[in-house]
Amino acid sequence: MAKSSRSARKTAVELLERICKNGEYSNEIIPNTLQKSDLSQQDKSLVLELVNGTLRWQGHLDWILKQYFHGNFEKSPDMLKRILEVSLYQIRFLDKVPEYAAVSEGVKIAKEAGGQPWGKLVNGVLRNYQRSCNSIKFPAVDSDPVSAISVEHSHPEWLVQRWLGRYGLENTIQFCEHNNRRPEISLRTNLRRTTPAALLTEFEKSGIQAKPSKYFDDFIKISHPGDLTELPSFQNGLFAIQDESTALATQLLALEEGDTVLDMCAAPGGKTCHMGQLVGDEGKVIAVDIKTNRLNLLKENAARLGLKSIQALLGDASKIDLPKIDKILLDAPCSGLGVLSKRADLRWKRKPQDIFNVRKIQKRILENAARLLKRGGTLVYSTCTLEPEENEKLIEEFLKIHSKFQVDRDSDSVHRTFSTPEGYWTSVPYEHKMDGVFAVKLINSN
């Protein structure tokens, strides 16, 4: 095995240690680490596969490892657990990696980290698994559906329990299966500079598998993309890498050329830039965010896309005071439980109480948004989660207090497949093959 491949595996273990032990977020530290790394593009791809794959299947892997680990696996050193997880992930899920290589490199990394005892332990656990993996018995779904789904599909039991109550057995399994697939990447065409047809032609010439979105005219879905940011078309601002589901909220606003819109929680700016494209250079998008570094990222994205309508503003959306405005997007901070296919670490970081804690923040920002909206104006509230406490229940409570606000149930700007009988708009991952989001269009009728 080449030294660089061993470095890739070691890098993956170190990244997982930072994510699992230090609480860092995968979507931030992985790209930052790889950007500074001297690994080859092939080894960077291996790091991505190992980190994201291990995170997706961590619960499943840990359950198996406990069957072969002599002693208390939970209380063993974190680095040792990460080495075992990465090694077992390769053996169990990666056909292109020879099993002997996964074991050998895992042992070498273990020896470097913990000496001969760690190396011997890792070798023993992995060899024992290889000898008897076909005889492993998992929890039975008939007798214990929560444990069975949690173990087989690698999701925390508390989340499986919630989804079983809401979606039923079959749909819960489909939801988990969607989250465990390597996600397709989607991008939004910058219609100010090109067309979806032109981009599709360019991708075809480059050997990139691409197809139009089923639901949104300016979106394209990509399979096996490689590093899209290296393409001249990306660097020249012809597209933004962005999930299709993000278009639900921006389309509900029904923006026109020259409109002014307030984006209350704007960074990193995917929806902001979409709105900037829609309102044009004569319009204005006031983009508010509480973090300077995230606003800087937003401004970089806007500059790359050639958008002149975006005005970045540092501030707390729950307190900021601005002149009243006709159109507001509140893409609220949330649990993120609708984006677990792309953010696998969130399923392990989130706890039940987090849903209720973030709800308090959502309510405060929504109250301020209502205060800033003009009479007759439009407010779109959205999240990237499908948990009712952050969505339907929160909106129902808001409407009881604010009788002047009404739900606009008949928007013609969004595909009807996303509509609900209550007038809300949701994308369901296992049904629509995209992230799970919620959106509602509220009108200030007073």
The residues assigned a catalytic role are: 384
Residues 270, 272, 278: CA angle, nearest 5 degrees: 110
- Sequence-distant (6+) residues with CB within 8 A of 6 are 105, 108, 109
Among 292, 307, 339, residue whose Cα is nearest residue 240 = 307
Torsion of CA 263, 349, 170, 161, to 10 degrees: -110
Q: Is 345 exposed, middle or buried (0-12, 13-18, 19+ CB in 10 A)?
A: buried
Q: Cα 284 to the chain's mean position, in Å?
A: 28
Q: What are phi and psi of 435, to 5 degrees?
A: -60, 155
Angle of the 26-36 helix axis to the 41-56 helix axis, nearest 10: 160
Burial class (CB in 10 A: 0-12, 13-18, 19+), 293: exposed
Instruction: Provide DSSP, 285-337.
Output: EEEEES-HHHHHHHHHHHHHTT--SEEEEE--TTT-----EEEEEEE-----T
Distance CA 248, CA 362 (A): 19
Spatial contact of 11 and 40, defined as CB atoms under 8 Å apart: no
Residues 308 and 279 sit within 8 Å (Cβ to Cβ): no
| Structure tokens given for 258 | 């020259």
Q: Residue 153 in 3-state DSSP?
A: helix
- Within 8 A by CB and 6+ apart from 52, the residues are 26, 30, 182, 344
3-state secondary structure of 385: coil
Q: Which two tokens stand for residue 162?
A: 């919630």
Is residue 93 within 8 Å of 52, Cβ to Cβ? no
d(CA 391, CA 245): 16
Indicate if the alpha-carbon torsion angle 77, 37, 346, 57 is positive or negative: negative
Residues in the chain: 446
